[in-house]
Structure 1
Amino acid sequence: MQQIKGSVLKTRLGFIEQNWGREGLEKVLGSLSKEDQEALRVILTVKWYPFEVGERLDAAIVRELGGGRTEVFERLGAASADANLATLHKNFLTPGKPHVFLGKAPLIYGFYYETGRRTYEKTGDQSGVMTTYEAETFSAPDCLSVIGWYKRALELCGAQGVAIHEDECRAKGGAVCRYQIRWNGVQTAG
């Protein structure tokens, strides 16, 4: 059974409250089963939780707050990067070196997901491809949050004009989840 870290769920709940207030959070939680509500009331960031709890939370966010649109998950991914890369995982960042940061994709994946693996391959001076293999569970909203997370993380590394496109997705019938990544340049701290 695929599991995700509590930090992923906690970030989602924090994102809801920050953008829609306590009322929005209660609306989402209230739409879930009693079991899911209990699981989400007290989240431990280092504990593993069933992926399905996160999947049902994602569906509730889209249904209750997103007006049926999943684009909200890119914003959620960016907020997660801001929260986690400013504190818990700030050592992953490599200012001025996007390829070095992206080379840590396999390690980063292991901090958030229990099964499967992720690779990164440099394809040019300002481009690369990141691929997720063998994840037991997957969802389109989770892939969108990955895109938002990596876009924001690359910006925190100094990359400018970041674009990420998922050209194959398991949630849409693909064999893997593959992300084409490009940026226009790098601003170095000075």
Structure 2
Amino acid sequence: MLFSDYVRMIRSHKHIDWAARLPREDMFYLRTPIEPLEWYPMETFERLGNAILAEVGGGDLESVRMWGRMSVDQLIATTPYLVAEGDPVETMMRFRVQRATFFDFEALELPTLTDDHAHVIIHYFMGDMAEEAASYQTMGFFERLLEQAGARAISGRFVERSWKGDPRTVLSLNWSMN
């Protein structure tokens, strides 16, 4: 799903010379149909993401975070059972199960999950720029997912950041139900 989103975004910005930004093997995917349920090379995914961040997003991580928020509504449209109305913990548990369909490796872990708090360990195993952008996208995603489940006063912050030299990235999420 994310790979096809990246390709669709690049294709929609025809005024950008993507061939000057991406290697030949990545350009192949911009000319061929993308199957949403197929697996694609992580290296290509990373390069597409970096190119989008630089050329479309102007390096603005807040826009990446907002894109993560918007992607939740698309996901819910295709998997409405993902959200347990009024129950953020159950929603997060459902996401944990669904996550395996997005990556063929353990990209996200949820070691801490309580009634008003969660820790998400993020490790996409990409370069610093892509890892940071993907982490901000993930932050926006979880903020919106919690919101859809009825959580309020949602606050997300990184307590560890691999792109700044920490051994891993940890996203801390807090919320209330009032």
1:105-144 to 2 correspondence within 5 Å?
A: 105-116=95-106, 118-123=109-114, 125-132=115-122, 135-137=124-126, 139-144=131-136
**CA–CA distance in 1 between the matches of 2:167 and 2:92?**
22
Aligned-partner Cα distance in 2 for 1:130–1:43: 29
* 8 Å contact kept, 1:28–1:60: no
- 1:36-94, CA deviations, whole angstroms, 9 ceiling, x for partnerless residues? 1212442211111122212111111121122232322112212221111211x322211
Deviation at 1:105, TM superposition (A): 4.4
Which residue of structure 2 aligns with residue 99 of structure 1? 89
Aligned to 2:77: 86
CA distance in 1, matches of 2:155, 2:103: 24
- 2:164 match: 172
TM-superposed deviation, 1:174: 2.2
Task: Specify whether residues 25 and 102 from structure 1 end up closer, same or farther in structure 2 by C-alpha distance, changes over 3 A only.
Answer: farther
Query: Amino acid of the residue matched to residue 75 of structure 1?
Result: M
Contact 1:13–1:25 (CA under 8 A) maintained in structure 2: no
1:38 and 2:32 matched: no
Structure 1 pair 136–182 and aligned structure 2 pair: CA distance change class (3 A): same
Distance 2:157 2:16 in 1: 32
Matched residue SS, 1:71 = helix
Task: State percent identity of aligned pairs.
Answer: 23
AA aligned opposite 1:8: L
Range that drifts further, 33-42 or 175-184: 33-42
**Cα RMSD over matched residues?**
2.5
Paired residues of 1:109 and 1:118 also in contact (CA < 8 A): no
Residue 57 of structure 1 aligns with an amino acid whose one-letter code is L
Residue segments in structure 1 that go unaligned for 5+ positions in a row? 1-6
Match of 2:61 among 70, 74, 83: 70
Residue of structure 2 equivalent to 1:54: 45
Say how many residue pairs are matched.
172
Contact 1:132 1:176 in 2 (8 A): yes
Change in Cα spacing, 1:58 to 1:136, as seen in structure 2 (3 Å) is: closer
User: CA 1:56–1:109 in structure 2 vs 1: closer, same or farther (change >3 Å)?
Assistant: same
Deviation, 1:161, is 2.5
- Cα distance change on mapping 1:159 and 1:90 into 2, 3 Å: same
2: CA distance, partners of 1:104 / 1:171: 28
Instruction: Return the alpha-carbon distance in structure 1 between the equivalents of residues 175 and 134 of structure 2.
Output: 22
Q: Following the alignment from structure 1 to structure 2, what is the Cα–Cα distance between the partners of residues 142 and 66?
A: 13
* Alpha-carbon separation, structure 2, partners of 1:109 and 1:25: 32
TM-score normalised according to structure 2 size: 0.82
